[in-house]
Amino acid sequence: MANKKMGLKVVSSAVISFSLLLLSASTAKAQANGVFDVTKYGGKEDITEALNNAWKDACGSMNPSKVLIPSGTYSLRQVTLAGPCKAAIEVQVDGILKAPANPDQFSGGNWVDFRHVDQLTLSGSGTFDGQGNVAWSKSTCNKDKNCEGLPMNIRFDFITNGLVRDITTRDSKNFHVNVLGCKNLTFQHFTVTAPGESINTDGIHIGQSTGIYIIDSNIGTGDDCISVGDGTEELHVTGVTCGPGHGISVGSLGRYPNEKPVSGIFVKNCTISNTANGVRIKSWPDLYGGDASNMHFEDIVMNNVQNPVVVDQEYCPWNQCSLKAPSKVKISDVSFKNIRGTSATPVVVKLACSSGIPCEKVELADINLVYSGSEGPAKSQCSNVKPVISGIMSASGC
């Protein structure tokens, strides 16, 4: 009897060893030189499960690793790629990823979500295609301020020391990219593309994050190319082309209680073309307080922009708010320098500050914006602010 039990133990041990050997061989096949190729995990057309498994193995690696999505077209359902990982990790997307076209197939507000990762790189020549053209017609946000948001293409939540390079996001159902709680995250040679009529499709929205860099990127969409929410500090935007869209905007601010201050916004060497706005700071009236300071816009070229330079503290889209009381958001230490090009409307500078808390320390320097339409000469409008003006000022009024 003892010999029989001993024999069973030997057989069981052999089976376990063989299973581990197969698992090891499978992992080795999927991994080559630290590269985890999703197609080696069975990813052919729908790569959702394969991507989740490749991420799990790569994230658990003690050495720097890469998840590879090769060239090709793949369906990808909703995924969350979460850390913390044991070492630096890169996701290289060379293929075209297609989201489900029907927004009802999503649970929550995102398609691809990267969360709680230190040393993340998202790279490659690939595209995240949100297939949003069906969803845009279903948006009710132009009528209901408490509307349920459609899914965003990519979220970065609590990423530290990250780089997004060469990737394209196309036709998101909602914001293309949302950045929340991140530190030291760079977008370089990043492309956002969607038609001008797409609703609420901000290119990159940043909130409660520090040290965000957007460099040498091309953003064309149906809403703000870049939008800055509360709690954003040290945002550097350089060499960005924007259009179509609503321009580069700080805000809207003051819509919700307990918003955190915005500070250290630097937008430089950008080109904005055929947009509804150029560079803009906006806050809601009659709602909640806040603070936005140390914001500087410099060396900006405007091409046929409807409202090139704007501070709007009466921001009230679709009449969803009250104008009975002024904005409670304090705006200070703002400069607009070397802003040049053409305006599609005669008001090339409009600084509409709060009557309750007027703007302070606002500087206009070398504003050379030309309007050549039939509505008279270019002009500026200022209220509740006394800007310091120097250099060229092509439009009188402030």
Quick: pLDDT tens for 275-319. 999 999 999 998 999 999 999 999 999 999 999 999 999 998 877
Which residues are identified as catalytic? 246
Residue in the structure block whose two tokens are 């039990």: 5
pLDDT for res 322? 73
Task: Report the alpha-carbon distance of residue 252 to residue 242 in Å, rounded.
Answer: 18
- How many other C-beta atoms can be found within 10 angstroms of the C-beta atom of residue 11? 10
Q: Residue 376 falls within a domain, yes or no?
A: yes
Contact between residue 368 and residue 383 where contact means Cβ atoms under 8 Å apart: no
Q: Residue 207 falls within a domain, yes or no?
A: yes
pLDDT at residue 26 tops 80: no
Q: Residue 7 falls within a domain, yes or no?
A: no
The parent domain of residue 384 ranges over: 67-393
pLDDT at residue 184 tops 60: yes
Q: Residue 49 falls within a domain, yes or no?
A: no
Q: What's 121's domain CATH number? A: 2.160.20.10
Task: Report the alpha-carbon distance of residue 160 to residue 154 in Å, rounded.
Answer: 16
Contact between residue 207 and residue 175 where contact means Cβ atoms under 8 Å apart: no
Query: In terms of Cα–Cα distance, which of 231, 47, 320, 75 is closest to 67?
Result: 47
CB burial string 224-241: b at 16+ within 10 A, e below: bbbbbbbbbbbbebeebb
Q: Is the peptide bond before 84 cis (omega within 30 degrees of 0)?
A: yes
Say what percent of the chain tops pLDDT 70: 90
Could you read off the pLDDT of 77-116 as tens digits, one per residue? 999 999 999 999 999 999 999 999 999 899 888 999 999 9
pLDDT for res 295? 98
pLDDT for res 15? 36
pLDDT confidence bin for 16, thresholds 50/70/90: very low
Q: Name the token pair of 385.
A: 């602010």
pLDDT at residue 365 tops 90: yes
Q: Residue 154 falls within a domain, yes or no?
A: yes
Contact between residue 100 and residue 143 where contact means Cβ atoms under 8 Å apart: no
Write down the mean pLDDT value for the chain. 91
pLDDT for res 318? 73
Contact between residue 335 and residue 362 where contact means Cβ atoms under 8 Å apart: yes
3-state SS, residue 41: helix
pLDDT for res 142? 61
3-state SS, residue 319: helix
The 3-state DSSP composition of the chain as helix, strand, coil percent (nearest 5) reads 15, 45, 40
Q: Residue 136 falls within a domain, yes or no?
A: yes
Could you read off the pLDDT of 115-125 as tens digits, one per residue? 999 999 999 99
pLDDT for res 134? 87
pLDDT at residue 9 tops 80: no
pLDDT for res 18? 36
Average pLDDT over residues 347-354: 98
Q: Residue 36 falls within a domain, yes or no?
A: no
pLDDT at residue 22 tops 70: no
Query: In terms of Cα–Cα distance, which of 248, 183, 238 is closest to 214?
Result: 238
pLDDT for res 319? 72
pLDDT confidence bin for 147, thresholds 50/70/90: low
pLDDT for res 141? 65
pLDDT confidence bin for 12, thresholds 50/70/90: very low
Q: Residue 107 falls within a domain, yes or no?
A: yes
Question: Could you give the angle at the alpha carbon of 63 between the alpha carbons of 59 and 69, nearest 5°?
Answer: 50
Task: Report the alpha-carbon distance of residue 135 to residue 275 in Å, rounded.
Answer: 23
Query: In terms of Cα–Cα distance, which of 175, 191, 146, 328 is closest to 249?
Result: 175
pLDDT at residue 357 tops 90: yes
Tell me whether strands 168-170 and 110-115 are parallel, antiparallel or unpaired.
unpaired
Query: In terms of Cα–Cα distance, which of 210, 259, 250 is closest to 234?
Result: 210
Average pLDDT over residues 17-33: 48
- pTM for this prediction: 0.91
The end-to-end CA distance of the chain, in Å, is 101
Lowest-confidence region among 3-7, 110-114, 177-181: 3-7
Structural domains of the chain, count: 1
Contact between residue 285 and residue 303 where contact means Cβ atoms under 8 Å apart: no
pLDDT for res 166? 98
Q: How buried is 24 (Cβ within 10 angstroms: 0-12 exposed, 13-18 middle, 19+ buried)?
A: exposed
Task: Report the alpha-carbon distance of residue 164 to residue 99 in Å, rounded.
Answer: 20
